[in-house]
Amino acid sequence: MPKQDFSTSTQPDMCVDLNGLTLKNPITVASGTYGFGREYAEWIDLNILSAISVKGLTLEPREGNEGRRIVETPMGMLNSVGLQNPGVHYFIENEIPFLRSYDLKIIANINGNTIEEYCQMAELLSDADVDSIELNISCPNVKNGGLAFGTNPAVVQDVVKRVRKASKKHLIVKLSPNVTDIKEIARIVEAEGADCISLINTLSGMGIDIYKRKPFLKRGNGGLSGPAVKPIAVRMVYDVHSAVKIPILGMGGISTGEDAVEFMLAGASAIAIGTANFANPLAPKKVLEGLTQYLKQYHYDAAKKLTGDLRI
């Protein structure tokens, strides 16, 4: 690629639109990695973010899994936290007012053991001051033998259809990567009324302590995230971008501006930073600066023009 001119002082338009959810820039943070924002507010100006997808919410408070829940890997981490959270009612009453003191959009990530629980939360949040609902369909469906909602196309269709009917909010559906054909699931989600798709969620993984001859995590397996999953995530974003017309919020191993560019070229309209936040609380600032520099270097006058602009 020819050398480009850095001298331009023109700032690119960073605004992007996730099908009705307008973001001031493409940088968000992923659910489960940023709490409710309070944990990072002393380290970074939250106003840098365009949106925060809050810690995964359940209908009632949850203590999470027992025993060891986090394991570092050479290129990321395994987690089995188990959706520890104070419950959707506490979030509405106590966390939304805090987040509203910042210039960012609030995305409420919801998780249920049954479709009925998903719908109850969607109804509650429809009357709450949130900007979007992120439907996490990687949860175990207790009425379907414990398999994740997002791995069965018929169940995906049912849960998205019913949540869409239960809520008038902007709806993002977060896809599980642990499926045979991610494009099939994405098409179903789009057909049932999702406004946007987020992907990828964590990959199923495992680590074993060879000296104790036991898994590191008490529950055995956990969710793998971090740089190790990035090539898989980029490929899935690319595949889904070719299969649907609704926008994509891409995530999976993003820690630099170059990573963000890669996801957007593959088809993401915005990106979410996850595991990188644990290593560097200033990661969102670093990613935004790197993305902006790239846009200026290669003469993009708007961030949205980067989406899908892959030369094949």
CATH of the domain at 47: 3.20.20.70
Does the active-site annotation cover 15? no
Q: How far apart are CA 144 and CA 142, in angstroms?
A: 5
Q: Is residue 279 part of a domain?
A: yes
Which range marks the domain in which residue 20 is found? Answer: 16-66+84-206+226-306
Q: Is residue 72 part of a domain?
A: no
Q: Is residue 35 part of a domain?
A: yes
Q: Is residue 112 part of a domain?
A: yes
Q: Is residue 46 part of a domain?
A: yes
Catalytic residue, candidates 15, 119, 139, 196? 139
Q: How much is the pTM? A: 0.94
Domain count, the chain: 1
Q: Is residue 220 part of a domain?
A: no
Q: Is the pLDDT of residue 1 over 90?
A: no
Q: Is residue 94 part of a domain?
A: yes
Tell me the pLDDT tens digit for each residue of 169-194: 999 999 999 999 999 999 999 999 99
Mean pLDDT of 150-157: 92
Per-chain mean pLDDT for the chain: 93
Q: Is residue 49 part of a domain?
A: yes
